[in-house]
Structure 1
């Protein structure tokens, strides 16, 4: 197995996800460092990123059987068992949350459910139970469900990403100067980038909401009218 001592020591420290307000390294600079990877390992990294970080739309929908088979085919191309497990873990949680959304919206029944991973069969069999009978196996799911029911998708995503971050960090620290170390770092970088963009979006939404509330205030409205009258 190739040892990437120079590359790993050249990667900056990523602060805890909740504290990450600015990326310590740009994607351009990160890609420049990743040229130290062999061609084969770079392909492994790119495949891992593609599977782990998917579009927001795909994360909110259940995959069809063709897509599930495609995911499994791509996963089988990953040589590292640890990385395969991390991505399987990610896709399984995607399936769980999408199933909860679909059921809540009444869009499908269990007979039309298609998902990825070890819990798919149980979800289909126990569709009408609040947490598909996974209460004991997945206590974290019980924490996320109320957020989903209340429509707090932003907070739900933050909590899930924080959990995924810890999962990746544990594996990253379990390896030293290997491809697994590099891949887990890059996957965490992707979570940090998404977190920062999400924070910026939420800040803009809050600002717009506050602006609308201020403009609807009688005092502000009267003040603006007076100002316009003075200018006319």
Structure 2
């Protein structure tokens, strides 16, 4: 798809002002999908795969880990954009880190499977399980805040920290992409964050938080022993 076609699409989309100050999405999903139909068939297919992989609910701890790893590897192999592959890696590394922090908070030991999660950090995390920040506090500065929220049971604050971290990462990425396919992906993922926040239900968040801190990484919940940290 030509760059001017991406420009036409992107300029037709309403600006997404902010994340937490939004009360509704700037455009309905129905209208957004109508605008996205301007993309070529190939781009539409790529966007669907990326959005399906990185959708917030798709990255829940309850997602079957092996299926997620397979989906991520397949999606990356089909993309010709290093920037988007890097985005996938970063977002899934984030998921792995948060899941590991929840495991630690629950007093569970490090997973023992050779490849227990997708990403480039799972072996490093296993080797730094004794560190409060998994040895990644500098690379991911939001980790100490997540640890504090877990310790204090602050479910809403935790969700906001994670949403903000993704928002900031997309904003940084947007500085290098304004009129290309990557910019379209950034817009859609930002839209999803706003949709997530504006649909947020406080009581459901509390229930979800309690469930998350009691669970492990998908199927590995039943494979690993419980008890004091090793």
TM-score of the superposition, structure 1-length normalised? 0.79
Residue 37 (str. 1) matches residue 50 (str. 2)? no
User: How far 1:194 moved relative to its partner?
Assistant: 0.2
CA pair 62-101 structure 1, distance change in 2 beyond 3 A: farther
CA pair 64-204 structure 1, distance change in 2 beyond 3 A: closer
Question: Of Structure 1 and Structure 2, which has the larger fraction of its residues in helix?
Answer: 1
CA pair 103-61 structure 1, distance change in 2 beyond 3 A: farther
Q: Secondary structure at the match of 1:17?
A: coil
- What are the ranges of 5 or more consecutive residues in structure 1 without an aligned counterpart? 207-232
Count of matched residue positions in the alignment of Structure 1 and Structure 2: 203
Residue 55 (str. 1) matches residue 51 (str. 2)? no
Q: Secondary structure at the match of 2:105?
A: helix
Instruction: Provide the residue aligned with 1:227 in structure 2.
Output: none
CA pair 54-176 structure 1, distance change in 2 beyond 3 A: closer
| 15-24 vs 102-111, greater mean Cα deviation | 102-111
Q: Secondary structure at the match of 1:93?
A: helix
User: How far 1:38 moved relative to its partner?
Assistant: 0.2
Instruction: Provide the residue aligned with 2:145 in structure 1.
Output: 143
Following the alignment from structure 1 to structure 2, what is the Cα–Cα distance between the partners of residues 23 and 65?
Answer: 33
Residue 88 (str. 1) matches residue 110 (str. 2)? no
Point out which structure has higher relative CO (alpha carbons under 8 A, 6+ apart). 2
TM-score of the superposition, structure 2-length normalised? 0.79
Following the alignment from structure 1 to structure 2, what is the Cα–Cα distance between the partners of residues 114 and 146?
Answer: 25
* RMSD over aligned Cα atoms: 2.4
CA pair 136-40 structure 1, distance change in 2 beyond 3 A: same
8 Å Cα contact 1:52-1:87 kept in structure 2: yes
User: How far 1:25 moved relative to its partner?
Assistant: 0.5
User: How far 1:108 moved relative to its partner?
Assistant: 4.7
Map residues 106-121 of structure 1 onto 2, 5 A cutoff.
106-112=107-113, 114-121=116-123
Following the alignment from structure 2 to structure 1, what is the Cα–Cα distance between the partners of residues 172 and 138?
Answer: 23
Instruction: Provide the residue aligned with 2:202 in structure 1.
Output: 202
Deviations 1:77-113 (A, max 9, x none): 1222111211211110100010111222234533247
Runs of 4+ aligned structure 1 residues displaced above 4 Å come to: 203-206
Following the alignment from structure 1 to structure 2, what is the Cα–Cα distance between the partners of residues 187 and 63?
Answer: 22
Residue 97 (str. 1) matches residue 69 (str. 2)? no
Deviations 1:131-172 (A, max 9, x none): 222233333211221102222232112111112112112222
